[in-house]
Amino acid sequence: MGIKFLLPAICVCTWITSWLLTESSDGLARITLKKQPLDLKRLNAARITQEGLDSNVNDQEAGVIYLKNYLDIQYYGEIGIGSPSQRFSVVFDTASSNLWVPSSKCLFSIPCHLHSRFRASSSSTYTKIGIPCTISYGAGAISGFFGLDHVKVGDIVVEDQEFIEITKEPFLPFLIAKYDGILGLGFQDISVERANPLCRDFTSEFGGEIVFGGLDWRHFRGDHTYVPVAKTGYWEAWEVNLNLSFKSYAMLNVRVCKFGCAAILDSGTPLIAGPTAIVDEINRAIGAEGIVSLECKSVVSKYGYALWDNLISGIRPEILCVDVGLCSYNGSQRARRKLKTVVENGTMKGSALGETPMCTFCEMIVFWIQVQLKQQKTKDIVFQHINQLCETLPNPIGKSFVNCDYLELLPDITFTIGNKSFPLTPHHYIIKVEEGCSTVCVSSFICLDVPPPRGPLWVLGDRFLSAYHTVFDFGNMRVGLAKSAN
C-alpha cells in the first residue's frame, strides 16, 4: 500500500505486501510493513460481522456497517505524531477512516500499558479538541477524545491532523497486538465525527507531486484495470461475481447478484467474506470443513474400518475405543456430553486432534455403526452415511479447514470485477498456520450476510490484495487492480 499525489491533488493508495517509507532515487517514498505471524487461536477468534450504523458515523444511507475484531491482523507499519515525533506502530486499514493511538491518559485498560502511548504534554504542536468518541469493533469498543497534532509518515508531515487519543481499550485483541493503533485510509463518510482522514489532509496541505508509497512498476505486471468507487465510505468496487474452475473446465459459476455485488477492498483483514450461500458452496467445492466435522472425519478415516471389523467379530461396543487407544475409559453418556462441549465451545483441547474429542467421536461413530448394522446396511453405505453425519456437525468458530496435502489439487477461484477476471490460486486463498510441529490450512472464505440495499457484499482482504497490486485513487474516485509482481 502507498499513497501518491499528483496535480490536481490526486491521492492514490497502492497495496503491496511490504513497504518502508523512505525517499528513493526514483522519487518514490516506500513503506515496508512488518509482519505479525498468525496462530490458529487468533485466526479462529477473528470475526467479521455487520450491524446497524452508529449515529456518529456520517453514512446514514448505508444502513449497515461491518465490524471486525483485528485479531487476525498481520501487517503494520510505523508513523510519528507530535513535535518532537512520538513513534507508533499502526495498521494501515482501507476499511476505516480514523487515526487513533493510545493516550497517556489511558490508565485503567491493561492493553494501553503494553503499547506506546501519546503524551500530549511532550508535543509543542499539540492542540486538544476534547470531543469524546467511541468506535465499535467486533471484540468491543474503544473510547477516547479528539486531538490535533502533526502526523509524520516517513518524510511527509501533515500539520494539524485530527486523531483520537484512546483512553479505554477492550482486553482483546489489543492486549496481544504488536501494533499500537489504527490509521484509517477510507473515506470521510465513515469517519467517526466526520474527522478528516489522513489521506484527505495530505491532498489539502500539499501541491505538486508527493508520494507515500506510490505506483512503482516493479510491484506489478501489465496495466491496471480501473473501476469506479460504488459508494464513498468504504473502498467499494461494483459488479463483482466469481467462478471456480478445475484446470480446463468450470466447476462452479456463480452470479449471486442480479445487478452486481459490491466488494470492499480491505487491508485490515486477511480474510475474504461473502454471502453465506456462496461461501458455503465455495468451501464445499474446495473440501473445506469446520473443525468439528474435520476431526470427526479424521476418526472415521483412520479407525472406522477397524471399529467395523471389531463390531462384526463380536467385541463389546463399549470397549472398542479403549482398544484402539482413543479412550482411557468408556461411557456413552460421557461421549455425548463431551461432543456437546466440543460443538458449543468450538475448541479442541490437547494436541492438534485432541484426545478428548477423538474419544468422543470414536464412541459416536461406534454408535452410528451399530444403528446402521441393525438396518442391515452394507459397509460402503454405512461409512458414506457416517461421513455425511460428520458433515452436519455445527461449525461454531466459523472457520473451515482443508487438508494441506491436497492444495495443488484445489481449483482457482476467479473474481470478476469490471468485466476483468482476477483469479486466486489455492496458495492465495488458503492460509497456512504453524501449529506446534504441524501446519494447519484454513480457508480464507468466511460468511458475511449484508441485506439489501447495501448488500450482498464481499470483503476482499489481504489474501486478495497480496495477489493484485491495488490502487486506491481518491482524486478520480476509482480502484485499480493489476497482477502483483511478487
Residue 1 reports pLDDT greater than 50: no
Q: Kindly report which listed range (112-116, 357-361, 404-408) carries the lowest average pLDDT score.
A: 357-361
Within 10 Å of residue 149's Cβ, how many Cβ atoms? 26
Provide the pLDDT for residue 62.
39
Provide the pLDDT for residue 80.
93
Provide the pLDDT for residue 274.
87
Confidence bin at 49 (pLDDT 50/70/90) = low
Q: pLDDT digits over 327-358, tens only?
A: 875 444 444 444 444 444 444 443 333 446 77
CA distance 454 to 180: 32
Of 59, 72, 93, 216, the active-site residue reads 93
Residue 308 reports pLDDT greater than 80: yes
- Structural domains of the chain ordered from first start: 29-50+64-211 (2.40.70.10), 215-287+403-484 (2.40.70.10)
For residue 449, indicate whether it is catalytic: no
Cell, residue 46: 477473528
Of 189, 201, 266, 473, the active-site residue reads 266
| φ, ψ (nearest 5 deg) of residue 6 | -130, 155
Residue 118 reports pLDDT greater than 90: yes
pTM for the model: 0.68
Provide the pLDDT for residue 167.
97
Within 10 Å of residue 3's Cβ, how many Cβ atoms? 26
Q: pLDDT digits over 176-235, tens only?
A: 788 899 998 888 888 899 898 886 544 443 332 233 545 777 778 899 999 888 777 788
Average pLDDT, the chain: 75
Q: pLDDT digits over 389-437, tens only?
A: 887 887 666 678 888 888 888 888 888 888 888 999 999 999 888 766 6
Confidence bin at 8 (pLDDT 50/70/90) = very low
Within 10 Å of residue 170's Cβ, how many Cβ atoms? 17
Residue 121 reports pLDDT greater than 90: yes
Contact in structure between 307 and 362 (CB atoms under 8 Å): yes
For residue 266, indicate whether it is catalytic: yes
Provide the pLDDT for residue 40.
60
Confidence bin at 9 (pLDDT 50/70/90) = very low
Provide the pLDDT for residue 6.
28
Residue 258 reports pLDDT greater than 80: no
